[in-house]
Amino acid sequence: MRISARVLFLASATGIVAPALAQRGPAPRRDVPILIRDVTVIDGTGAVARVHMDVVMRDGKIASIAATGTVPAPHPDSVIDGRGLFAIPGLIDAHVHMGTGPWQERATAMKAALMGGITSVLDLAGDSRATSDLQRAVIADQIPGPHIHYIALLGGPAFFTDPRVLDASRGYTAGTAPWMQSVTDTTDFAHTIAIAKGTGATAVKLYAALDSATVARATVEAHKQGMKVIAHATTFTALPSDLVAAGADMLTHTPYLVWQGSPRTPDFPSRARGDFFGLPADSPVIEKLLMQMRDRGTALNPTLWVFDMQAADSVGKVRSPWMNAVTRRAQQLGVRIVAGTDGLYNPRTDSLPILHRELELLVNGAGLTPLQAISSATRNAAWAAGADAFTGTLAVGMNADLLLLGADPVADIRNTRAVRVVVQDGKIVRQP
C-alpha cells in the first residue's frame, strides 16, 4: 500500500504516466507509442546535446526525434514529461564475465545492472553454456537484465592449466570446449572458428600463450567468417603491435600495452606487472603503437576500474598513472575507446553498476570529455559487441534503449548515476 502510494506520488511529481507500459509482458506485443516531451538529447555519437526535443518510441524502436511540439502526442496515456531530464542511449558495459558463479547471484546482478542503466553487455569469456542461458532468459522475458553478446576464447596450450579456464570448460578435456579452444600455428582455423561461431559468439577473444603467427592466422579466418577479433593487448609472445598488424579489432586492458617495450616472453601470468618504469607513458614506442592502432582502426578497451582497485599497491602506484596517461593519449590521437569494467556489478562497493565508476575514471582519471566517455560506453561499446546497427545511439530506426537522467552528465559525468527511467527495447523497465 505504502509502496503504491510512493510510486504514484513520484509518477505525478515527475509527470511520468505510463503504468501499463512498465510491465514486461511474457508474449511479444505491439506497444503503445511513448512520447518523451521536451527532453535534452545526448545521442551517443559525440554530438553536442540538443535541448527541447520530443522523442517518440514505437514497437521497440525510436520512431522520431524532433523539436518539441512539432510531433503530435501519439497517445494521451503515454507521455513522459522530459523537462529537466537528459536522454542518453542505454549504457553498454563492453567487458563483463557472466558465465561463472551461482545462477541466482548472476540473475541478481543482471537485474541490478539493468535498473542501473545497463541495457546491453559484451561478455569477454566464461562458460558460454551459462552465458547463453542468461542471454536467452533476458530475451524470453524470464529475468530482467541487459542483453548479452559474448565471445569464444582461443588460447595456446600452456594457458589451459588456468583454474578459471578449467572451471569454464567442465565436461570437456581442457582446450576442447567449443567456447574455449586450444590453438597453435598448425591449427585448422577454418574448423576452429566455425566451432567457435557455433556457440553463438559474435567475436573471438585471443587470450594468452599465442605467438604472432597464430594470432595472424586466427584473425584472418575469424574475419572471413564474420566474427570480430578481441585480444588481450599482449598475448605472450605476440606483442601489441603484432595484434594490431594482424588486424585485431580491439585490444583490452591499457596497462598491457606496456609489453610493447619488453623482450618477447611467454610469461603470461605476469601480464599485469609490466615495466611501467622502463617505458614511460609518453615514450616514442607507445606513441608509435597508438598511431598504428588509430591507422588500423584498432579500438582500446581500457578497463580502468579493475586496475584502479589496486591503485595503492606497489605496482598499482606506477601502473595507474601510466594507464590513465596512455588512455588519454589514445583518445587524443583518435583511437576508438570502448568502455568496459571487467566487473559489471559489485554490491559490496556500489549500489549502481560499475560502469558509472568507469565513466568517472575515464573523465577524471584519463581526461576524456564527458561526451567522449558517454560515446565510449554507448556507440563504441555497441560497435565492439557487433550491435551498433541497432543499439548504442539515439537515432530514428534504432532500438529504443535509452535512459532518462535527472541531471546533466555533460556538466558532471557522475550525473550518469542520476538514472530516473530505463527503457529497453521500447519497454519502460524502470521509472521513479
CB of 180 to Zn ion, least distance (A): 14
**Closest distance of CB 124 from Zn ion, Å:** 5
**Considering beta carbons, is residue 181 or 303 the nearer one to Zn ion?**
303
Please state the closest distance from residue 97 (CB atom) to Zn ion, in A: 6
The x, y and z cell numbers of residue 429, run together, are: 523497465
Exposed/middle/buried for 389, CB within 10 Å: 0-12, 13-18, 19+? exposed
User: In the bound complex, what is the minimum distance in angstroms from residue 301's beta carbon to Zn ion?
Assistant: 9
For residues 259 and 237, give the distance between their C-alpha atoms in angstroms, rounded to a whole number. 10
State the minimum distance, in angstroms, from the CB of residue 155 to Zn ion.
13
What is the Cα–Cα distance from 120 to 280, expressed in whole angstroms? 35
Name the residue number minimizing CB distance to Zn ion.
342
Min CB(300)–Zn ion separation in Å: 14
The smaller minimum CB distance to Zn ion, of residues 122 and 428, is found at 122
- Residue 359 makes CB contacts below 8 A (sequence gap 6+) with 339, 373, 374, 376, 377, 413, 416
Residue 127 or residue 342: which is nearer to Zn ion going by CB? Answer: 342
Q: Give the count of beta carbons closer than 10 Å to the beta carbon of residue 8.
A: 11
DSSP state of 60: T
H helical segments located in 140-211: 163-167, 189-197
Of 124 and 429, CB closest to Zn ion: 124
Sort strands 228-232 and 86-89 into parallel, antiparallel or unpaired: unpaired
Residues near 237 by beta carbon (within 8 Å), at least 6 away in sequence: 210, 211, 212, 264, 265, 266
Q: How far is the CB of 232 from Zn ion (least distance, A)?
A: 9
CB nearer to Zn ion: give 100 or 108. Answer: 100
Beta carbon of residue 176, minimum distance to Zn ion (angstroms, whole number): 22
Closer of 14 and 128 to Zn ion (Cβ): 128
- To Zn ion, the closest distance from the beta carbon of 178 in angstroms equals 20
Q: Is 124 or 230 the residue whose CB approaches Zn ion more closely?
A: 124
Closest listed residue to residue 93, CA positions, set 271, 305, 247, 249 = 305
Beta partners for 96? 123
Cβ proximity to Zn ion: between 124 and 206 the closer is: 124
Least gap, CB of 95 to Zn ion (angstroms)? 5
Grid cell locating 382: 555497441
* Closest distance to Zn ion from the beta carbon of 311 (Å): 18
Choose between 80 and 344: whose C-beta lies nearer to Zn ion. 344
Our CB check for Zn ion shows the closer of 101 and 278 to be 101
Q: SS in 3 state form for 282-306?
A: CCHHHHHHHHHHHHHCCEEECCHHH
Using CA atoms, how far apart are residues 338 and 321, in angstroms rounded to an integer?
A: 19
Residue nearer to Zn ion on the CB measure, 303 or 415 = 303
Cα pseudo-dihedral 258, 260, 264, 266, rounded to 10? 50
Q: How far apart are CA 355 and CA 313, in angstroms?
A: 23
155, 208 contact by CB (below 8 A): yes
Q: Are strands 118-123 and 147-155 parallel, antiparallel or unpaired?
A: parallel
CA dihedral angle for residue 42, residue 46, residue 47, residue 50, rounded to 10 degrees: 10
Which residues of the chain form contacts with Zn ion (CB under 5 A)? 124, 342
